[in-house]
Amino acid sequence: MSTETISNDGYDFDDTKRRVKAILVGSMGNLIEWYDVYAYSAFALYFAGSFFPSTDPVAQQLSAAIVFAAAFVVRPLGGLLFGWLADHYGRRNSLIFSVLLMCFGSLLIALCPTYEQIGVLAPIVLVTARLLQGLSQGGEYGTSATYLSEMAHPNRRGFYSGVWYMTLIGGQLCAIAVLLLLQKVFLTPAELKAWGWRIPFAIGALLAVLTMIMRRDMHETDHFQDASQNATTHMGSMKDFLAHWRELLIVVGITVGGTSAFYTYTTYMQKFLKLSVGLTDDQTTTVVLGSLIVAIILQPLYGAISDKIGRKPMLIYFGVMGVLFTYPLLSTLQQTKSPWTAFFLICGAWAIVSGYTSITGIVKAELFPTSIRALGVGVPYALTVSIFGGTVDSVALAFKQAGHEDWFYWYATGCICVSLIVYALIRDMKKHSRMEQHV
């Protein structure tokens, strides 16, 4: 595909088809990334006992959640490494290497012996695998968001950002679908706990290989090619990267509330519905699956709205609604015993959170020039997610174990409030985009 053959109106069917195809191929790593993340989170209910011997199920889940959070510690390093590769050697090369590393991490978990077999080495191997995944995932977001922003038509970047985010949620949808099939069709709960939990990680490794093959035929973006051929452009310069410290701080502020909300209604929701609401395994999986389908539909819709009204109004909508309704939604959800009520409450949450998720990739990319775009998006995002996103499960379970579960609801609300202040102060990046700037 050559971007030079694409029409300029942004609404031609063939134009849309070609761009969506390119963006989906570039975003497949996001699907694998979030498949891996959600597979770990969802199947932790089954494999935690294999790595962390304890008679207390909450303690087992807390141990698994700490390992989950450990992978986020190295995400900033992944964002730095793969962001530099993307800005210096091209988006395509960085995306190929990141998905290859994903494959190694997933395969290691799939083949890892249990605590009963090798003792303390089992959780060490598990941590190693998650660290490899964390490195890969830290680089994947910034590079794929950069690729998305540079492939999308200027008038429809919000829409394409929503399409891009569909792959993130799609990865979770795939993971929860695998869980549902294994629970209802193929395996018993005892088989899932004994060995069935390995299956989703083996699938993740296979998907990573297929994605790497698909990415070999990706075309480099015109933005990168033009910038790299410009003698005055210093691609991937750390000096230029640090010179944009204000934009880096803005990315942090934009992300704090959104990432905490996103992880609350994705990775933690599986445990919340089981341990706090009291739904059965089948009910939990079905409710989460249904709510993710709703979420995936909302992404391009909200993104298209941002193309009409701007990015800032969408972010402020998320911030205001999140501050007002996070505590009521979670507290009501905790008290209900009805799967249908739980489903509608989570869908209501997604109607709020999508104001952030649908445009998050493009908003951050529009802050930076081409020469440092992947670094600018990836590093501060990965740092913020490692602190406020990957720790959501651990923080929530720690509050629950201490007997103050509702404190987590206030914590999530506070994170959104911090971002709301940032949303109110920043310029609308749809009107002040730096997408066409090389340096």
DSSP state of 12: -
Binning pLDDT at 50, 70 and 90, where does residue 343 land?
A: very high
pLDDT tens column, 26-64:
777 778 877 887 788 778 778 777 787 765 666 777 777
In which element (H, E) is residue 228 found?
helix 222-228
Arithmetic mean of pLDDT over the chain = 83
DSSP letters along 332-398, please?
HHHH---HHHHHHHHHHHHHHHHHHHTTHHHHHHTTS-GGGHHHHHHHHHHHHIIIIITTHHHHHHH
Task: Report how far residue 46's alpha carbon sits from residue 36's, in angstroms, rounded to the nearest whole number.
Answer: 15
In this predicted structure, the answer to whether residue 234 has a pLDDT above a threshold of 90 is no
- The whole-model pTM stands at 0.82
Binning pLDDT at 50, 70 and 90, where does residue 319 land?
A: very high
User: What is the predicted pLDDT for the residue at 5?
Assistant: 41
Half-sphere exposure of 407 (CA within 13 A, CB side): 11
User: What is the predicted pLDDT for the residue at 278?
Assistant: 83
User: What is the predicted pLDDT for the residue at 412?
Assistant: 93
Q: Where are the domains of the chain?
A: 12-425
Phi, psi of 134 (to 5 degrees): -65, -40
DSSP letters along 379-433, please?
HHHHHHIIIIITTHHHHHHHHHHTT-THHHHHHHHHHHHHHHHHHHHS--TTTS-
Binning pLDDT at 50, 70 and 90, where does residue 299 land?
A: very high
CATH class of 12-425: mainly alpha
